[in-house]
Structure 1
Amino acid sequence: MAAVLPLEPSTATGKQAQARRAPKQQGFSFGKYREIIIAVAFFLLFDLGVLVLNFYTSFKIDQDTVAINLAGRQRYVSQRIARTLLELDAARVADKPYKPETLAELRAGAKVFDISAAAFKEGNVVPGGDGKPVFLQPVTSERGRALEAQVDAVWKPYFQKLQPLLASDKFTPEDLAGALAYSQANNIKLLNIANDFVTETQQIGASRASTLRMVQTGGIVLALLNFAFILFKFLNRLKTSDAAIEAATEENREILQSVREGLFLITPDFKIGSQLSQSAHGLFGRTLTPGQDLFSLLAPLLPDKALADARDYVQLLFAPHVKEALVQGINPLSEVEAVMKNRLGQEVVRHLSFHFNRVQEGAGVRHLLVTVQDISARVELERKLQSERQRSQKEFSMLLKAIDADPAMLRQFVARAEQNLLEVNDLLRSTSSAQGETAILKRIDEARRRVHAVKGDAATLGLDTIAAQAHQFENDLDRIRQGGSAGGDLGNALLALPLPLEDLLNKIGSLKSLTGLQKPVADLAVSGEAINGVLARLAEDIARDAGKRVQPAITMSAIADLPPDASDLVREIAVQLVRNAVTHGIEAPISRTGAGKPEAGAVTVQLLRGETEWTLSVRDDGAGLSAPRIRRKLVEIGWYTAQQLESFDDRQIVAHIFKPGFSTAGGVTMHAGRGVGLDVVQANVQKLGARLLLGSTPGEYTEFKVRFAA
């Protein structure tokens, strides 16, 4: 009979007082439940009796099955003996030698028949149908014994006639003729007796099966009648108890429906009590049921380690010798993140806090009162504060790196980045006047080139915050470009970008204030050694992020002799080609060692001045350009079909690496995957009035050369 669960006070002291005021439960009374106990005892007795009879009858049926199978085998063996005698006689008439396999079959059949016939009379171990030994019980029925005597009367003379053939291969024709004559005279008789014996064994098995069914039916009927009696008595007692329980719990129900926290009790075996607050269901996002295991409920919400810790903690609280106040601070469920569905069926993340208080009775702990609160708003506020602190730390770290950077390079970066971002802003603002989707897409590509250049410049100076923000801005441009190609409104979509662009400009403005930039950039001098250093560091940073190793060799000192405009273009080209070389050219260490190369790839950058022209060379000893791979990528991204590419030679295929939006990378990362880097290179080569030369051998190297007038 279920016990009434009164609503306990929220403190341990109150619970103890409530427990002292509650009347003591009466001890177990045999007289009160005498009828039910006796009925249950009979029920168990019936079940035990049926079970014992089932085991015994099933054992006998198994033995009968063996007898049926072996009786059938006797019938088959008798036919096999007769057939082999005919085959031997046919060989004798044809004056051919007897086949060894025929003699072996005759001897095996005679041996099996003789052993089995003896076992049916006395019982013995015989070979089963699968060749494994089985114990054959003797036939005990009156008809079975009579049939065995008939078999014995026919078989013994038959077996004697077969002895010369069984003992040796040198038997006489007279021996064969005698055995064959006896076989032909008595085979039908022996077969009929064997058939009758099979029928007898089957009838014995059917009789046992019928007995088993009767026993089972009788036992089940008695058990059902007994169960009906138990159910009747139980329902009568339950009806009487329900009225008292309903009256005692009505006040608790009203209170539990009104509180906002999840409240319920758990027993020492971690089962939820019968009284739960209405809010508990909503906090868990599912209907809780009394008797449900608390840790089964928490299992989807916690990793295995946290679930085990929570179980240990709750067990500690149920130990009366452990001070409750001392273990409150190690509660592993003080904050739990849970993913559940709201009323609209949408998944939402909630943060729940569990607190446990003891409900004591005397010196023992009877229950734990569990209080569940939704602390999502507090956790969200803490995360926002933490995110803001991290952002501030990153910006502070960026400012420290900016202070350590080469002053001239930093000032040039600030000027170039500000100019590029303002031009991007102008491009976005002018989209409303552009006619057609093609024109807008061209503006997007130009904006992507400029933002990509800002990202590359920031990465060379170690300004990771600005590089990451520029990378995110590229994501936004890519998303708008892809959405526009599917029929979206490109012009309106671009108007949604001023906020991230303004944030980037604000960061550039902070750096501008830090540098105290006042004089024109043309008056600043950037040393060639500084360019060499930042390019080498850029190559090493990209390699580290990609899990590669690289040994850069940078010789760009002559860049200081170029005019400012040309110097900026050459530097941007070098940055993008170094990024491309490390990301796409240099292989992973394991691939390089497998190809017989050093683990660290070589990236060589040179700027040389000739008599009539300058040459910028960027070379890596990586995987080289693979025309088949580029061809597959063009089909994969849907630019061409395989049939369209059949007319392209390898040179035309490789030329697509300079197209905006084309990349052989598997996915978009900070350093690759957008198809913008070589697009920036080609645009700057055109602005420089230069020529771009490309050389590559698969598996050996890739080299870009930019030649322009001195």
Structure 2
Amino acid sequence: MATTPNIDNKRYQGLIISIALFLSLIGALLAFTFYTSSLLERNTALIDQTNKVANSAQAVIKDLFDLDASYGEDTNSPHIQRVLERLEKNTASITSSIAAIEQGGTITDTEGRSYTLPKIDSDAQANITAANEQWKALEPKIQTYLKDADNIMVPSADALTQAVEQAKTSSLLMNDSLDNLTDDVFNSAESEASTIRLIQAIGVFAIFAYFLIFVFFFVRRLRETDAEALAARRETQEIMETVNTGLFLLDKDLRIGQQHSRALNDIIGADRLAGENFTNVLRGRISDKDLKTTQQFIEQLYNPRVKEKLVDSLNPLHKVMLHNTSGNKGLNDRFLDFKFSRVYDDKNIARILVNVNDVSDAVYLEQRLEKERTENDMQIEMLTTILNVNPKIINEFIANTQTHIEKMNNILKNPGSSQYELEGKLKAIYREMHSLKGEASALKLHSFTKIASDAEDKLHALQNQGQLSGNDFLPLAVHLDDLLSLSNTIATLGERINRSAPPSVKPATAPISDSFAKTSITENHKSNHTISNINADHGQSIDLDDEKDDQLSFYKEFAKDIAARQGKQVQLKSDTLTQADIPDHLVKPIKEISIQLLRNAVVHGIEAPSVRHSTGKDAVGTIDVEVKDSGSDVLLMVQDDGQGIDYDGIRTKLSKEGRFSMEEANQLSQNDLLKQLFSSGFSTKEHADEDGGRGVGLDIIKAKVKEYNGKLNVNSELGQMTRFVITLPKA
């Protein structure tokens, strides 16, 4: 959108020229005044100089007579020295002053200011010449006397007598000439002053007359212009009252223009907008981040080096939700779409035109369609899993998910107020959520994984915030409801498709509790890198004897999926997983522990192919999973040929996180470091992702081993391998 500046320039061209002429007249008058003031100042200095010469001449003659009368007095007496000094000074002053007056030279007054004397006319020149001739006759005799006046060895009476005699002759002629010179200079200055006053009066009259003409002519022109502007404003108002979109202009200070469409008030939901700051109108109705981004966005629109099309793609107010803060219950939160366009004045960016539309209906329709599309994608994902995974595994996942949700709900219900109890509740919920996410990730149920990951983000934030309260756990209820809903959905789909293998448990329908409290978990550690556990309830028994081949395939796919996300290559080997006879009550904990150990091996153990190649290893890492029956116990062993446990790295991370000082960390034994590695919230991974980095996986393993009163042994060689051995008693 462009304006028409040329028409406006022509309209005001005459006004501009007239003002320039008016200012030129004033400037010329001021310049003439400055010049005449300088001239008068120079004439005054000339008059002062002529008076100075006359006074100095009188003083010289007086001093000569005084010296003549005092002849014979000691030449070193204060009186004689003072008169001689004054005579010498006045003699030099007369000589220099006459030369300056005669030639129009530069003189300096007693205050140190310098003046250039003006040229004098012919009459004055004749008078100064006559005075100078008399002075030239007297001045040499004075100099002859002054040469030896204070030397008692040289007689100076004759020289003084000659100077006095010449002074008698020259003094009258010099006084007459200097008096005439003063009168000539004064008359000349008075004549110039009169001329100056006359010219100034004429100039002032001419300026005043021009001003009256200027006011008369241009007041009439301005009236015509105002009438045209009023008509144009009326037309603009009619347009602004008619359009059904919000239109307004923004200046560089982000102030809304005085003219805007009537619809803007209804769209924005504010009575007064003209002249208001745009950021103040939006403050509190959009997020502070969006508000700051909007300010930066508009600043870039005013940057001529930034392409408008390029910066338009960064518009932060595209379909933005505007919250209702007016307290008007009839006014709901709405989605508004702001479009910004530059308004140019010639080639300069003058304003930003903003077009606002209420797109709430369109956005709500998009959201509904997106929700339906998400639900469809989720059902397709679930159907794909149901059709490609053994029904027993699906049923086990549904049962485990509902068990995890029920446990988390019970944890939230348990009372607790101390920080220790709240931290225990947080850790327990974190373990259950992480276990659920691991099983969902293994089945490629990304809907479950996404909800669980979002919940883990909130749990991780609570873990790092320090002080906890019961209300901090309130948002978790939403995630539990979402997980329960997904679990019921996949159970329903499974029943429809797999009539021959229905789920072992019914879909849960009980709502998630809104009362939150805390629980505590006690941990005991033993030396030799072994962790011992207390008794706990048995897990749910799921018979997978006929599905062991599927179980091995399940683990292999799970490991490969994690490796693909981590940019690694792995192969899983197991000779005993399909042969071991695992008691029913240990099937579930062994599966949960296996999932966490497999994830830990891929994420933390196996190196990237390039790293393995540089150390002489095969690009594909190997993970061995073995399950053995030792009579009274079941042994689970997971070993990888990766980088091993870097104990120095653990020390560095502990110090970096502020858990220990570097000196304290250096004093920790390997067993102490392993205990820290298994603590909740600690991870050696720099950045958390779907597969790890939150410090929960090993904590889950430790809790499960304790729950089943088992033992955990860790063996590692740096750069070679890491082996976890879990021993769970059958009884």
| Alignment of 1:412 onto 2:396 | yes
Deviations 1:272-324 (A, max 9, x none): x9976477799899779xxxxxxx9696599x99944999xxxxxxxxxxxxx
Equivalence for 2:461: 479
Equivalence for 1:631: 651
Q: Which of residues 580, 604, 609 in structure 1 aligns to 2:600?
A: 580
Deviations 1:668-701 (A, max 9, x none): 2111122111111112222344332212222222
Equivalence for 2:491: 512
Cα distance in 1, alignment partners of residues 686 and 334 from structure 2: 32
Deviations 1:374-425 (A, max 9, x none): 2442453144224302320232123211232111111112112212211211
Equivalence for 1:243: 226
Equivalence for 2:413: 429
Of residues 375-384 and 504-513 in structure 1, the stretch that sits farther from structure 2 once superposed is 375-384
SS of the equivalent of 1:694 reads strand
Amino acid at match of 1:489: S
Equivalence for 2:469: 489
Cα distance in 1, alignment partners of residues 215 and 574 from structure 2: 95
Amino acid at match of 1:633: K
Q: 1:597 to 1:353 in 2, by over 3 A?
A: same
Tell me if structure 1 keeps the 8 A contact 2:319–2:338. no
Q: Which of residues 434, 452, 456 in structure 1 aligns to 2:434?
A: 452
Matched-pair identity in %: 23
- Tell me by how many angstroms 1:467 deviates: 2.0
SS of the equivalent of 1:618 reads strand
Residues 207-606 of structure 1 aligned to structure 2 (within 5 Å):
239-255=222-238, 258=241, 261-263=245-247, 277=261, 300=301, 307-308=308-309, 337=318, 352=337, 372-400=355-383, 401-430=385-414, 432=415, 434=416, 436-483=418-465, 485-486=466-467, 488-490=468-470, 492-513=471-492, 514-515=494-495, 516-518=502-504, 522=542, 525-555=545-575, 557-558=577-578, 561-606=581-626
- Tell me by how many angstroms 1:575 deviates: 0.6
Deviations 1:215-263 (A, max 9, x none): xxxxxxxxxx9xx99x999976863443223321342354356455244
Q: 1:390 to 1:546 in 2, by over 3 A?
A: farther
Cα distance in 1, alignment partners of residues 602 and 683 from structure 2: 14
Q: 1:647 to 1:300 in 2, by over 3 A?
A: same
Tell me if structure 1 keeps the 8 A contact 2:644–2:718. yes
- Tell me by how many angstroms 1:461 deviates: 1.7
- Tell me by how many angstroms 1:529 deviates: 1.2
- Tell me by how many angstroms 1:562 deviates: 0.6
Aligned CA-pair RMSD: 5.0
Cα distance in 2, alignment partners of residues 682 and 242 from structure 1: 87
Q: 1:439 to 1:353 in 2, by over 3 A?
A: closer
Tell me if structure 2 keeps the 8 A contact 1:301–1:337. no
Q: Which has the higher helix share?
A: 1
Cα distance in 2, alignment partners of residues 33 and 655 from structure 1: 87
Cα distance in 2, alignment partners of residues 33 and 454 from structure 1: 80
Of residues 595-604 and 334-343 in structure 1, the stretch that sits farther from structure 2 once superposed is 334-343
| Alignment of 1:691 onto 2:711 | yes
Equivalence for 2:700: 680
- Tell me by how many angstroms 1:631 deviates: 0.8
Q: 1:576 to 1:556 in 2, by over 3 A?
A: farther
Cα distance in 2, alignment partners of residues 544 and 37 from structure 1: 78
Cα distance in 2, alignment partners of residues 339 and 630 from structure 1: 45
Cα distance in 1, alignment partners of residues 707 and 13 from structure 2: 101
Cα distance in 2, alignment partners of residues 380 and 611 from structure 1: 64
Q: 1:263 to 1:446 in 2, by over 3 A?
A: closer
Deviations 1:86-129 (A, max 9, x none): xxxxxxxxxxxxxxxxxxxxxxxxxxxxxxxxxxxxxxxxxxxx
Tell me if structure 2 keeps the 8 A contact 1:581–1:603. yes
Amino acid at match of 1:352: D
Q: 1:297 to 1:706 in 2, by over 3 A?
A: closer
Deviations 1:632-652 (A, max 9, x none): 111222222223334312332
- Aligned length in residues: 455
Cα distance in 2, alignment partners of residues 663 and 26 from structure 1: 72
Cα distance in 1, alignment partners of residues 417 and 452 from structure 2: 28
Tell me if structure 2 keeps the 8 A contact 1:585–1:624. yes
- Tell me by how many angstroms 1:428 deviates: 0.6
SS of the equivalent of 1:462 reads coil
Cα distance in 2, alignment partners of residues 301 and 540 from structure 1: 52
Equivalence for 1:8: none
Cα distance in 1, alignment partners of residues 719 and 394 from structure 2: 38
Of residues 535-544 and 468-477 in structure 1, the stretch that sits farther from structure 2 once superposed is 468-477
SS of the equivalent of 1:693 reads strand
Q: 1:557 to 1:26 in 2, by over 3 A?
A: closer
Larger Rg: 2
